[in-house]
A = this chain, B = another copy of it.
Amino acid sequence: MNTLRSFRLLGLLALPLLGTLAGRAEDGYRLWLRYDRITTEAQRTAYVRALDQIVLVTPTGAESPTLVAARDELHTGLAGLLGGEVPVTIVKSIDRIPEMGDGFVLISTRLNHVGEVRITAGHDAGVLYGAFDLLRRIQTRQSLDRLEVTSLPKVKRRVLDHWDNLTRTIERGYAGFSLWNWFALPDYLDPRYTDYARACASIGLNGACLTNVNANATVLTEEYLVKVAALAGVFRPYGIRVYLTARFSAPKEIGGLPTADPLDPAVQAWWKAKVDEIYRLVPDFGGFLVKANSEGQPGPQDYRRTHADGANTLADALAPHGGVVMWRAFVYSNEAPDDRAKQAFNEFTPLDGKFRANVFVQAKNGPIDFMPREPFHPLFGAMPHTPIALELQLTQEYLGGSTQLAFLAPMWKEVLDSDTFAAGAGSTVARVIDGSVDLHPDSAIAGVANTGTDRNWTGHPLAAANWYAFGRLAWDHSLSSDAIADEWTRMTFGNDPALVPPVVAMLLRSREAVVNYSMPLGLHHLMAEGHHYGPGPWVDKLARADWTATYYHHAATDGLGFNRSASGTNAVGQYRPEVARVFGDVAQCPESLLLWFHHVPWDHAMKSGHTLWDELCARYQAGVDEVRAWQKSWQSLEGHIDPERHRHVAALLQRQERDARFWRDGCLLYFQQFSKRPLPVGVEPADHPLEYYLKFQLHYVPGHPAEMK
């Protein structure tokens, strides 16, 4: 037909020519749950042959919402990956399934030419985790031949802590705003809530604390609890239990009581009634997370009661329902003259044994506050009668928000693998946390979430790796950073062999690069005031000395660093002798923590042979150089990564290179005032004089509580 002669039919691939209004671009929304068809036919056929059928085995064999979710996920995932339908059947186990918590067993067989994968678990959530495990194996192109895998989570409560306000701002949130649209709840259930739960379940997370630790009692009112219940209803099929932060003064603020004294019977009755109300609405409610008498938050000490008194009152209300209290150990007093790094230990260790059985004391990985590098917190292993929960921070409060690449698995592994010697050698932080050192029946790990309303969930396209890594390590702290980075990269960007190694290499080197260009050699708390983005070693006059930078770095003409050895604040004395001996000795102390524990002369000889000053300069420069290397590496991946995510990361790396230079230059110019030494060869001079960095001010940095209005 003549009239059709110029009309050429297009393949599907040619459609998304511009923008994303077509809604089909790779915008990162799918995270690591991408189920694109396997393009290598031999691989695809091998999986098809292995998957004639999938059998989900539970003690009940009932078609629960969780098993339906597992089956739907398998259908969707395998339809995408393999291009066809695999029958999934749910059956009741004929044998007794051994007690294995959230764990599962994955077995593949081939009998009479029928390939079968069988997922067996003691309860439905375990099957769901097994389903995601199976999909992950296919997504990362692992063989399914003769699988016989038993996977048991090492930690029981694997929780994301959201520092989300009811206004939807997020304290230290860098990926937009809170996912919880409180005003639209309970009527409208955004499909994104389901996808959040799927993503969490896919990496084994089983809890979400919805609200900021700087808490607002309003979330405990009936107006909000029905909204909480609606969210909990969406999460339930995915095995995610909801937790809330409890503002300690809630009995006064929303209860109308004259006091919040935890030993006052009316206060105790109020909490009991409130908790009963919560469980009527949310029968599987997880419990309360509490920040008390910390940075201005109310707490039991307002009534001369101890942290144990406070925690126990809440714990008693929760106990009949099986709920727990996560009581944060992040406390330090403005009045206390002692080293801030020592205060939590001093305050909490005397309370060991005084907490109810359903109370966790939740400590951050290090004794200060999520610095790019800290030694492990001395509380780990120091409270044998109390289960200690580990709090990690996925959101990069001190590592560049969602602007800078910093894959945190290596940082978390560093603390998890640290040996506390609490019960002899091998008493790693990981084993303290999972309860195996002190034989606690319950265990918990929490990660401060880096999620938000940004379409790709975490702002930086590569920051989702931290969400992923947290879940994987919470499930199994023995996994290596390399293995996690490799999995995540394959699932997120594909299995292209030209792509996987360079991306994994970037991820694995990134945290150390941030340490180097911001706070190398054990330096800490050097950041700009308030928003914490960029350098501020000169910050010295704030409401509290322990919020300044000079409190921590002690830069002077005689040297640099905080003497926490026996001749200083003796913070090392809070560790077991085996550890204290190493940290406390300038010769044995790892150089990565040197200035954390020691005040060291500028000419101190480092292992490299450099002086401290030259080594410091070299580290700052190395951080910058590393980012430049990623830029080159990333550029070479053009064509191997979809344009939208490639452009996004390229833009952020450009910014990170600028930020890294800014850190290097601001810090070195500042310290040079004390070292009075020239920059060594190979270290680039600053772009501006010191004055420029001192005066520089950013406005409206995301996540900064004071500017959230």
Question: Interface residues, chain A, CB within 8 Å of chain B?
Answer: 2-10, 14-25, 27, 29-31, 33, 35, 48-49, 51-53, 69, 72-73, 75-76, 79-80, 82-87, 113-115, 165-169, 176-177, 182-184, 187-189, 191-192, 194-195, 198-199, 218, 221, 223-224, 403, 453, 455, 644, 648, 651-652, 654-655, 698-702, 707-709
A195 / chain B contacts, CB cutoff of 8 Å: 19-21
Please, which residues of chain B bring their CB within 8 A of the CB of A10?
A: 79, 83-85
Task: List 10 tightest A-B contacts by C-beta distance, closest first.
Answer: A709-B709, A188-B651, A187-B655, A17-B76, A21-B195, A166-B700, A7-B84, A18-B72, A187-B651, A8-B85
A72 vs B23: C-alpha distance when bound (angstroms): 16
A183 touches B7 (CB 8 A): no
A169 to B167, alpha carbons, bound, how many Å? 10
Does A19 lie within 8 Å of B52, measured CB to CB?
no
- Whether the Cβ atoms of A73 and B199 lie closer than 8 Å is no
Residues of B within 8 A of A15 (CB): 76, 79-80
8 new A-B contacts, CB < 8 A, other than A9-B83, A177-B177, A183-B403, are: A5-B52, A7-B52, A10-B79, A17-B72, A19-B194, A166-B700, A167-B700, A167-B707
Candidates B7, B80, B403; contact of A86 at CB < 8 Å: B7
How close is A27's CB to chain B, nearest CB, in angstroms? Answer: 7
Name the residue on B nearest A3 (C-beta). Answer: B49
Checking B9, B16, B701 against A84 with a beta-carbon cut-off of 8 angstroms, the contacting residue is B9
**Residues A699 and B223 in contact, CB atoms below 8 Å apart:** yes
Determine the residue in chain B with the shortest Cβ distance to A189.
B651
Cβ-defined contact, B27 with A31, below 8 A:
no
Bound-state Cα–Cα, A27 to B702, Å: 27
Task: Report the Cα distance A655→B648, complex, angstroms.
Answer: 38
**Closest approach, in angstroms, between the C-beta of A531 and any C-beta of chain B?**
10
Residues of B within 8 A of A115 (CB): 3
Complex CA gap A49/B17 in Å reads 23
Complex Cα distance, B10 from A48, in Å, reads 14
- What is the distance, in angstroms, from A652's C-beta to the closest C-beta of chain B? 6
Name, among A18, A30, A86, the residue most crowded by chain B CB atoms within 10 Å (CB to CB): A18
B25 touches A21 (CB 8 A): no
Are A198 and B7 in touch, CB under 8 angstroms? no
Task: For the complex formed, measure the closest distance between the CB of A536 and the CB atoms of chain B, giving whole angstroms.
Answer: 17
Q: Would B182 and A700 count as touching, CB distance under 8 A?
A: yes
Q: How far is the CA of A74 from the CA of B35 in the complex (A)?
A: 31
Instruction: Select from chain B the residue with minimum beta-carbon distance to A48.
Output: B7
A6-B87, A167-B709 given; A183·B20 CB < 8 A: no
Known: A8-B84, A53-B6, A166-B699. A76 touches B651 (CB 8 A): no
Check if B4 sits within 8 Å of A49, measured CB to CB. yes
Q: Is the CB of A709 within 8 A of B29?
A: no
Interface centre among A29, A701, A707 (most CB of B within 10 A): A29
Could you say which of B33, B87, B166, B224 contacts A21, with CB atoms under 8 Å apart?
B33
Output the least CB separation between A137 and chain B (Å): 18
A-B pairs with beta carbons under 8 Å apart, 14 shown: A6-B52, A6-B53, A7-B84, A10-B79, A17-B79, A18-B73, A19-B195, A20-B29, A27-B191, A177-B453, A187-B651, A188-B652, A191-B644, A223-B699
What chain B residues lie within 8 Å of A52 (beta carbons)? 3, 5-7
Give the residues in chain B near A31, CB-CB below 8 Å.
21
Q: Is the CB of A176 within 8 A of B453?
A: yes
**Docked pose: A551 CA to B71 CA in angstroms:** 61
Minimum C-beta distance from A463 to chain B (A): 13
Q: How far is the CA of A49 from the CA of B5 in the complex (A)?
A: 10
Compute how far the CA of A199 lies from the CA of B19 in the bound complex, rounded to whole angstroms: 11
A328 CA to B352 CA, complexed, in Å? 65
Q: How far is the CA of A86 from the CA of B5 in the complex (A)?
A: 11
Chain B residues near A188: list those with CB within 8 A.
Answer: 648, 651-652, 655
**Cα–Cα, bound, A551→B188 (Å):** 36
Determine how close the nearest CB of chain B comes to the CB of A51; give it in whole angstroms. 8
A224 to B82, CA, bound (A): 49
CA distance A53 to B9 in the complex (A): 15
Cα(A23)–Cα(B167), bound, Å: 27
> Given A9-B84, A453-B176, does the pair A76, B18 have CB atoms closer than 8 Å?
yes
Nearest CB on B from A658, distance (A) = 8
Enumerate chain B residues within 8 angstroms of A22, measured Cβ to Cβ. Answer: 30, 35, 76, 80
Residues in B whose Cβ lies below 8 Å from that of A652: 187-188
Return A85 CB to nearest CB of chain B, in Å.
Answer: 5
Across-interface contacts of A644 in B (CB, < 8 A): 191
Whether the Cβ atoms of A699 and B218 lie closer than 8 Å is yes
Are B699 and A191 in contact, with the CB atoms below 8 A? no
Rounded to whole Å, the gap between the CB of A495 and the closest CB of chain B is 19
Whether the pair B184, A403 counts as a contact (CB closer than 8 A) is yes
With both beta carbons as reference points, the residue of chain B lying nearest to A51 in the complex is identified as: B7
A508–B2 Cα distance when bound, in Å, is: 45
Inter-chain contacts of A73 with B (CB < 8 A)? 18
